[in-house]
Amino acid sequence: MSIDIELERSLTPGTGHVNHLNNAGASLATQPVLDAIAAHLLREATIGGYEAEHEAQATLESVYAGVATIIGAARDEIALVESSTAAWTAAFTSIRFTPGDRILTGRTEYVSNALNLLLAAERDGVEVVVVPDDEHGQISVDALRDAIDERTKLIAITHVPTSGGLVNPAAAVGRVANEAGVLYLLDACQSVGQRPIDVDALGCDMLCATGRKFLRAPRGTGFLYVRSTALDRLQPMLLDSHSGRWTGPRTYEMEAGARRFEEFESSRATRIGLGVAVDHALALGLDAIAARTSGLAEQLRQMLVAIPDVEVHDKGQDRCGIVTFSVAGVGAGDVQRALAARSINTSVTGPHFSQFDLPARGLGLLVRASPHYYNTEDELAQLVDVVSALG
Ligand SMILES: Cc1ncc(COP(=O)(O)O)c(C=O)c1O
């Protein structure tokens, strides 16, 4: 099924204002998402926040079903949280590390995850091992297998990094993790909503994602998946009145499923918006979204490398909708500003997001352009025109 781009653009008010090639930052939301959020906020203001929640109970429950469907999970394996980092840290801190435990990660691990690995190394005495890349620039599955020993407690990698079009071989990593019986935490923040995701095929025990990127949900939404069979190996760092129950002065119980990782308070309105965005992606089909998004990105790469003085830096065998490039003699910030002056949204990434990877490749700040399915070939050409004039 192919996507009706004109229809999708007519449902996306932002496309009338900007050439938005910063979907890896945050996508443009659709009108139905905006309407659903506004409608719930109005009900909160009209009848009361708790009462509006009660009224919307079935809709709120259906958000879990949608999120579960988009990653091939069961509904009770989903916790709704405010960000990918909130999901990742909830999962990570639920693992009890002892000095000498090893954590294996990849070179493109996301900054916030890496910072917490470094913190755990200092605080808990764990050893953080950065597994090298293979010849394609993706995590080496052979090196990963070789690095596993009896002290290895966790494999934590990023599926699609913030700083390039790489798609790591997450399913192959999952097979290695499962064979060794090692917990596997996958950061799928940039891949959910962009590509088909199936937690069983990936073999991950925990997966984190955000709403605002390729899922096109509002900011402040995200989720954590926890495989039901992994629950007894994890203990939430913190509980509250929603994730736990105070059953007696000295006793408590935890929520049965992944909701033990949630907090009571959250924006019900944006959560409903997340549900609408997820249903929209499911209706279009993740295969169609992936084909269109990766296709646009590949076209953009080809147009960019044809410009003298422009280098494209995406690595990996399988590449997705994130394009990173540099223009010789022009700083990434200047490129971004020149594009922004023409209402073309991109972002700048660099070593501060990716210390295990970019410095080792001799790379500094890079421009990141990230099309989504609703972008057009014309919009790519507009970016290329501006960049060509800079070189
Ligand atoms: C790969 C990756 N992981 C995690 C995050 C963090 O997401 P959030 O800001 O929702 O915590 C990002 C954000 O850019 C990301 O690119």
List pLDDT tens digits, range 209-240: 999 999 999 999 999 999 999 999 999 999 99
Region 195-214: mean pLDDT is: 98
By most ligand atoms within 8 Å of CB, the mutation choice from 167, 189, 191, 224 for ligand 1 is: 189
Residues 160 and 322: beta-carbon distance below 8 Å: yes
Region 350-363: mean pLDDT is: 97
pLDDT score for 154: 98
Give dist(CA 44, CA 9) in Å, integer: 30
The number of beta carbons lying within 10 Å of the beta carbon of residue 202 is 24
- Give the distance (Å) from ligand 1 centre to CA of residue 228: 24
Alpha helices (H) along the chain: 5-10, 31-47, 49-55, 57-71, 84-92, 111-124, 141-147, 170-180, 199-202, 268-284, 286-305, 332-340, 377-390
pLDDT score for 133: 98
Burial class of residue 156 in the structure, from the number of CB atoms within 10 Å of its CB (0-12 exposed, 13-18 middle, 19+ buried) = buried
DSSP 26: -
pLDDT score for 214: 98
Q: In this model, does residue 288 exceed pLDDT 80?
A: yes
Strands 102-106 and 127-131: parallel
* Ligand 1 contact, 110 CB (< 6 A): yes
Atom of ligand 1 minimally distant from the CA of 161: 1
pLDDT-derived band at 1 (thresholds 50, 70, 90) equals confident
Q: In this model, does residue 391 exceed pLDDT 90?
A: no
By most ligand atoms within 8 Å of CB, the mutation choice from 22, 83, 111, 112 for ligand 1 is: 112
By most ligand atoms within 8 Å of CB, the mutation choice from 109, 110, 160 for ligand 1 is: 110
Region 334-340: mean pLDDT is: 98
Instruction: State how far Cα 293 lies from the chain centre.
Output: 15
Closest CA relative to residue 194, chosen from 291, 276, 274: 291
* Ligand 1 contact, 162 CB (< 6 A): yes
Tell me the pLDDT tens digit for each residue of 17-55: 999 999 999 999 999 999 999 999 999 999 999 999 999
Burial class of residue 389 in the structure, from the number of CB atoms within 10 Å of its CB (0-12 exposed, 13-18 middle, 19+ buried) = exposed
pLDDT-derived band at 299 (thresholds 50, 70, 90) equals very high
**Residue 53 one-letter amino acid:** E
Region 136-150: mean pLDDT is: 98
pLDDT score for 290: 98
**Percent of the chain residues topping a pLDDT of 90:** 99
* Ligand 1 contact, 222 CB (< 6 A): yes
Longest dimension (CA), the chain: 71
**Residue 123 one-letter amino acid:** R
What dihedral angle (degrees, nearest 10) is formed by the CA atoms of 372, 314, 202, 226?
-70
